[in-house]
Every structure is written in structure tokens, then in C-alpha cells.
Amino acid sequence: MKRLLILGAGTAGTMMANHLRKRVNPADWRMTLIDQYPKHYYQPGFLFMPFGLYSEADVVRPKRDFIPRGLDYVEGKVERIDAEKNRVRLASGGSLDYDLLIVATGAKTAPDQTEGMTEGDWRKRVFDFYTFEGATALRRALRDWQGGRLVVHISEMPIKCPVAPLEFSFLADWWLAQRGLREKTELTYVTPLSSAFTKPICSEVLGHLLRQKRIQVVTDFNIARVDNERHRIVSWDEKEVPYDLLVTVPTNMGDAVIERSGLGDELNFIPTDRHTLQSKEHPNVFAIGDATDLPASKAGSVAHFEAEVLTKNLLHAMREEPLEKDFDGHANCFIETGYGKAVLIDFNYEVQPVQGTFPLPGLGPFSLLKESRLNHWGKLAFRWIYWNVLLKAAPMPGIGHRMSRAGKQLPAEALQAGAAA
């Protein structure tokens, strides 16, 4: 009997386990899923926790609730992947051989990559909301907030859910206004990119939001260090931004096991074929979700679309058939804009976010690249869909893994030249 291993039971690994359990004959393939932690976090919910909109109960479930029967589940830390020998070693000392391997070990924050970030001010004046602990600590800090300089900051690209820091800024503006603190707070958004909205159509349609909400923007800021004494972030070219409260998105990196195994790039992301999801180096290794180096967004919706393609390709690999080059970079993300509204974007490697309706052409009900209350309800409904549909790999009627161009207003410049050759 042959063996398939899935490393990581987060969003992507859990979805793959559920897809494959339904499609693969257990008499031919033994499947094993491995993860180090018992809790599954709904990470998109971390955005809402600092504002008291979600609590722990909304974002945490036991991993085992989503893992199908009929497949082995091992709780343990993966120490090393020996891709030359088709073997995975566990920190507990055991090892598992594989015929096919899926790496779904995700990405996590690495604040220690920035000089000074984890020193004196860390979790006192400097917070992240990309971890459960960070979002919880930030909740406490915001409760005590009396005004001053609030700085939202991205350390380095790529990050998971690239719109989350913008959403945080919009929600902070709304939340501060509710509490009568907006006039006492200077809100600044600091990015290493050359603008807050980098895609031409987005910046045309959404660019006014930052001005309207009086959020100052500092661009081209590449952080060199956090100055804990003077409470400033300092860039490589010696620009400084002072803060009373810094909400940073630290560098995001793949898990250290990828580095230990010599399988990653400079951020421990796995070089992966952007259309088949096969590792570029090892034909029997596949990667999915945040663990890859694909030029797609690191998002749960992307992992969902990838999982449909990867399921087909694993079945092909099991039958030794050629793979389908079927993943198009499709992502679908709600962007909270505050005051009970949100924007929806739907895009892929080739088509940047544009206006239109989704999923039904002309009917919606969601509107693309436009603020609406319904989009906000969509964002809130995403949590239910995540736990009850996405993780279980149940079908999503009307929403395919290939991005649909129907219902989209597509001017010529919406096709991004140079992307995804």
C-alpha cells in the first residue's frame, strides 16, 4: 500500500484531507495528516478581536472536529523533511515514509527579524494582530487607549491577507470615533510599498477612503529597526515615524522546518509551480496555502481554490498521469471599511480587482470594488462558511476555482501585463 502524508492541519491541510478522503480508496493509499497543535484558529477573525467584535469562542475550535475519519491523524511537530529519501522525521523521534507529500505548514509572523521589535515596547506599545496572543493583547491595550499617535505598519511583503492592515486602519477609525477618541488620535498607515493601493483601478476607486477617514499614509518605508527608547520606527534611509501605539505586521515567514529541510527561499517559502502546485524541485512533493512562494495572495480563499486544483493533481499523480496546469491565482477577499460596510475583490494572476457584481453577473448580490452593507454581511458570514463549508471541503455552488470574467467590468488595463507568464 502506498502512503500520502499531509504536513499541517490548518486551513489548507484540513481541506486537502477532506477532499482526498472522499476521493481516494483507502485500500490503495494510506493517508496521514500531521500537525503540532490541537487548536484550529480562524485567523481572519483576529482582525475583529482588538475591537471586541469577536472573542476567543468565535475564532477557536478543536482541530480534530474537522479531520475526517478513515485517515490517520498524528499530533506532533515535524522536525525535518528529507525529500531525497521521501521521509519525514518528527521531533518525537519517529519517522514516516511517503510516496506523495503535501506541505501545508503555512506562514507565521517573525518579529525577531526586525532589530528591536521584540524588545522593551513589545506587547506594551508594540503589538501585532496576526496571532491569537497578539490580537488578545492588543484588545487590552485599546481598552486603555486615551489618544495619541496610533501607527499601523507593514514590515515587509509578502504578508498573509495583504488587505488586513488597511482593514485594521479603517476599523480603528470607526472604533475611535464611536468612543469619542478619533479627534485625539493621529492615525498613520506605514507601508514599504509606494502607495496604500498599488493597483491602478483600486487606487482610483478606493483611494479616497484614506483621505476621507483622515488616515495619513507614509509610503516607501522599509523598516530597519524599532527604537524602543524614543518610541519610533526607523527606516533604512533614516526616516522616522513616532508612535504611542504601534500595530505592526511583522515579517511573515514559512515554518522553520522548511529552512531546516533546505526546501525554502529566503522567507522559507517553497518554490512551487504556480499552475500545478507541484514543488519545483521534487516531483512527488506538492505545496499549498501560505507555505508556497506563488505570486498569489496568502489567503484562505486562495487555499480553497488551490485545494480543488491540487485534489485533481494528486489523483493524477497517484495514477501517474500528467498534471493539470489549472490554478489561475484566483483570490476572493472582503475588505472591511468600517461603519458596517465592506468592499469585495475577486481577481487572479492576470486580472486585477475591478468593479462589477459577484457571483452572478448583473445580479450580485455582492458588488465588486465598491462599499456596501451587504459586503460587510458577507465578511461576517465568511466565518460560518469557513467552519461549515470550506474546511469540510463541501461544494460552493456557483463559485469555481477558475476566476470568472462574467459580471466584471474589464478595461484593457485590468489585465496586468507581466504578471504570471
Partner 1 sequence: MPQKQINGFNIDINDEGYMTNHAQWNREVAAALAQEAGITLTDAHWRVLGFIDKDFKEKGVVAGMRRMNKVGGIPTKELYALFPDGPIKKAAKIAGYPKPASCV
Residue span binding partner 1 (CB under 8 A) among the ranges 99-107, 137-145, 188-196, 313-321 = 188-196
20 three-state secondary structure: helix
d(CA 345, CA 372): 12
The binder of partner 1 chosen from 100, 249, 345, 390 (CB under 8 A)? 345
| Residue 389 phi, psi dihedral angles, 5° rounding | -120, -55
Site for ligand FAD in 165-194 (CB under 6 A): none
Count of chain residues binding ligand FAD (CB under 6 A): 35
- 413 is an interface residue for partner 1 by CB under 8 A: yes
DSSP codes, 189-223: EE-SSSSSS-SHHHHHHHTHHHHHTT-EEE-S--E
User: What track of x and - describes contact with ligand FAD for positions 251 through 270 (by CB under 6 A)?
Assistant: ----x-x-------------
Which one of ligand FAD, partner 1, none interacts with residue 102, CB within 5 to 8 A by kind?
A: none
Which one of ligand FAD, partner 1, none interacts with residue 412, CB within 5 to 8 A by kind?
A: partner 1
- 268 is an interface residue for partner 1 by CB under 8 A: no
- Closest distance of CB 94 from ligand FAD, Å: 13
- Closest distance of CB 309 from partner 1, Å: 17
Question: Looking at 53-109, which runs of residues are DSSP E strands?
Answer: 60-62, 72-75, 78-82, 87-90, 95-97, 100-103, 107-109
- 361 is an interface residue for partner 1 by CB under 8 A: no
d(CA 382, CA 208): 26
Give Cβ neighbours of residue 58 (< 8 Å, ≥ 6 apart).
42, 45, 48, 383
Residue that is written with C-alpha cell 492541519 in the block? 9
384 three-state secondary structure: helix
The binder of ligand FAD chosen from 6, 49, 164, 196 (CB under 6 A)? 164
- 9 is an interface residue for partner 1 by CB under 8 A: no
- 166 is an interface residue for partner 1 by CB under 8 A: yes
Site for ligand FAD in 97-136 (CB under 6 A): 104-106, 129-130
Sheet holding 100-103, edge to edge: 72-75, 29-35, 2-7, 100-103, 285-287
Alpha-carbon dihedral 160, 166, 167, 171, rounded to 10 degrees: 140
Decide: 349 and 302 in contact? Cβ < 8 Å.
Answer: no
- Closest distance of CB 257 from ligand FAD, Å: 4
- Closest distance of CB 162 from partner 1, Å: 4
Contact footprint for ligand FAD (CB under 6 A): 8-13, 34-37, 43-44, 46-47, 77-78, 104-106, 129-130, 160-161, 164, 255, 257, 289-291, 298-301, 303, 333
